[in-house]
Amino acid sequence: MSDGVAPIVPGTAAPVTVPARMPTDWQTASRQTRIRRRYAAEARFRLMGLFAVVMSAGFLAILLFTMISNGIGGFAQTRIALPIDFPRAGLTLDQARLKGPGADLALAGAGLPEATQAAAIVAYGPDGDKLLSDGAWLRVRDQVKANPALLRGRATLWVPAADTIDIAAKHDGAPADEAIVAKLKAMGALSTGFNAFFLTASDSTDPTMAGIWGALKGSIFTMVVTLLIAFPVGVLSALYLEEYATRNRFTDLIEVSINNLAAVPSIIFGLLGLAVFLNTFHLPRSAALVGGLTLALMTMPVIVIASRNAIKAVPPSIRDAALGVGASPIQVVFHHVLPLALPGILTGTIIGMARALGETAPLLMIGMRAFISAPPDRLSDPATVLPVQIFLWSDQVNRGFVEKTSAAIIVLLVFLLAMNGVAIYLRNKFETRW
């Protein structure tokens, strides 16, 4: 330190010296306050973050709780024991036709619906037939088909109750229905079971007969079409724009258009689908094919944007490395860029697909709101999708549809979770490949 101090010689001006800086003293009061403030700021920030997480988790929990408590009843079915004396029921039936594809028709023509009603009247009095669901005879039919030996004698079969009885048994219904339920319960003629029919049937005007399968199948068809169109087209556009296109006015214009397209309200895509696919190309109305195409238009910009960001995030040094050993541009893309970008691309795809899965408005525009009581077999068959089905049921005045609506929402959520699960699985698979 002494070297730095200039010697003082009398008669000469002291040279200007820059005072040497002392090491920072961290113990002074003002520094200590700063440190305390920093800790306080960090603690505040952590608390705020925690609060945000707890709040969103809370909302999610409330949503799931209300959905499940409302909807779980939709998966349960109240059944009534129905004794039927088949030999006396006056069925005109050719036993040989009970096997094979003609069986349903044969049983319907043989007077099974009437026989079922008559049995209810015998068992439960003049209004007995009102206790049963309109489709009760269908369950009788299924059981007879499964076991034709029933036709030779008396049997007690469990058949679905009418929706008024169903509601009275599960919640609180009209006082008259409550009394009937109490009486049936006392007789041991009432039971509750899992409504497998809800998962295998399609829409119906009778809530006890309505099922979600038609809408679920429609949703699956629609999503498949959307994915098959939006994913390859979206990823290829993103690759082209990022890896090949030179930057000029034209590509800037395309970029702006795509970004804007992602922000267009979904109903506009419905109008577009109506104008292009139905009016110009004359594709069938209400079909999963058209729904999928329309939703693909909506999903594609989301996939393009997510893919471009994922591709941009691949470090340029990886491209250099591949080009440096003589990889062609296509090899660079498919061997290096795409695998590294895939997790991000899949994340974007799942966000786009999830949005498409929950979309109602554009599908209403192309006629997917029709009452459709049979699941679609082909992409061009009239179909509906889960959110539209939920929308239609929520509009019904019949109280039996209230819990069907919630049950359908549960099915939609499960579908969504399954889709997310597949995407997360794929993402992890590609992330851990090296």
Partner 1 sequence: MNASKISARNVNVFYGQKQAISDVSLDFDSDVVTALIGPSGCGKSTFLRTLNRMNDTIANARVEGRIALDGEDIYAAEMDVVQLRARVGMVFQKPNPFPKSIFENVAYGPRIHGLASGSAQLADIVERSLKRAGLWDEVKDRLSDSGTALSGGQQQRLCIARAIAVDPEVILMDEPCSALDPIATARIEELIHELKGRYAIVIVTHNMQQAARVSQRTAFFHLGSLVEYGTTSDIFTNPRQERTKDYITGRYG
| Chain residues in the site for partner 1 (CB under 8 A) | 246-247, 315-328, 331, 335-336, 340, 434
Between CA 225 and CA 298 the distance in angstroms is: 13
Output the six-digit token pair for 433. 């490949």
Q: Answer yes or no: are the C-beta atoms of 399 and 170 closer than 8 Å.
A: no
Nearest residue (CB) to partner 1, 134 versus 243: 243
Nearest residue (CB) to partner 1, 244 versus 371: 244
User: Smallest distance from the beta carbon of 341 to partner 1, in angstroms?
Assistant: 12
Nearest residue (CB) to partner 1, 26 versus 434: 434
User: Smallest distance from the beta carbon of 423 to partner 1, in angstroms?
Assistant: 21
Nearest residue (CB) to partner 1, 328 versus 428: 328
In terms of Cβ atoms closer than 10 Å to its own Cβ (0-12, 13-18, 19+), residue 149 is exposed
User: Which helix (H) or strand (E) segment is 191 a member of?
Assistant: strand 190-194
Q: Sheet of 190-194: strands edge to edge? A: 154-160, 76-85, 190-194
Nearest residue (CB) to partner 1, 341 versus 390: 341
Nearest residue (CB) to partner 1, 302 versus 322: 322
User: Smallest distance from the beta carbon of 236 to partner 1, in angstroms?
Assistant: 21
User: Smallest distance from the beta carbon of 434 to partner 1, in angstroms?
Assistant: 5
Between CA 363 and CA 388 the distance in angstroms is: 8
Query: Measuring CA to CA, how many Å separate 3 from each of 20, 82, 118, 211, 423?
Result: 12, 112, 119, 94, 70
Q: Specify the length of the chain in residues.
A: 434
User: Smallest distance from the beta carbon of 314 to partner 1, in angstroms?
Assistant: 10
Closest CA to 63 of 364, 416, 379, 426: 416
